[in-house]
Amino acid sequence: MTLICGVDEAGKGPVIGSLFIVGTLFDEKDLPLLKKIGVKDSKLLPHKKRIKLAEEIHKIAKKIKIIQITPEEVDYAVMRNNGLNLNWLEAHKTAEIINELNPDKAIIDCPSTNIKKYKAYLLNLLVNKKVELIVDHKADKNFLECGSSSIIAKVMREEEIEKIKKKIGIDFGSGYTSDERTQKFLKENIDKYPEIFRKSWSTYLNHKGTKLQKNLGDF
């Protein structure tokens, strides 16, 4: 039995809400089932389809590990002088997932422009140095394992955003800075709901009248 893990994230860029990183572990022989049910990159799927597929993936996977990184933790990685940026943070969380799932092969959708450096950094964090690592910029599109993780991560993020909207009673849109509703909500409520915002984002800082965020930092 060969165990393969796919790792992907959702919610790296928005100014509102958490970043979710997901690892899904499969027996290699079960991968055709993912293709059969229609797994693909979550960005190519409508919301309702993602929800249905996430339920099916849970049935097929041997294990699933979900890590939620709150706005506060994202800000800590970006703003503090702790040697971390968002890509390093993702590497540490990805290593946590791989170490727990303990696959024979791990396929990672790479957040960094420098695949070689990211892969080396990640390998150094792993307990099992013999695990086969595939690090790719389009892993969520090219590998069903990563497509599965991208679907679950996206569903988790969408659920969180809906919970926030329900809690505060305001529809602020997607939470991304390109969304005009999000921009309007941020401007009008920047001090009212501080816990939901990423305070290291330039959009937030601009509204607060402070300096721009530090570089999110590709390697």
The CATH class, in words, for 3-208 is alpha beta
What is the four-CA torsion angle of 194, 195, 197, 199, rounded to 10 degrees? 70
pLDDT in tens, 188-197: 999 899 899 9
Query: Which residues lie closer than 8 Å to 65 by C-beta, 6 or more apart?
Result: 22, 23, 25, 96, 97, 100, 101
Q: Where are the domains of the chain?
A: 3-208
Q: Are 105 and 5 in contact (CB under 8 A)?
A: yes
Residue 84 confidence (pLDDT): 61
pTM as predicted = 0.91
Q: Looking at the predicted structure, is the pLDDT value of residue 157 above 60?
A: yes
pLDDT in tens, 24-70: 999 999 999 999 999 988 888 888 999 999 999 999 999 999 999 99
Q: What percent of the chain has pLDDT over 90?
A: 76
Residue 210 confidence (pLDDT): 54
Residue 131: is it exposed, middle or buried by C-beta count within 10 angstroms (0-12/13-18/19+)? Answer: middle
pLDDT in tens, 104-137: 999 999 999 999 999 999 999 999 999 999 999 9
Task: Quote the DSSP letter at residue 87.
Answer: H
Residue 114 confidence (pLDDT): 93
Residue 208 confidence (pLDDT): 78
Residue 76 confidence (pLDDT): 84
Closest by CA to 122, choosing from 49, 23, 2, 3, is: 23
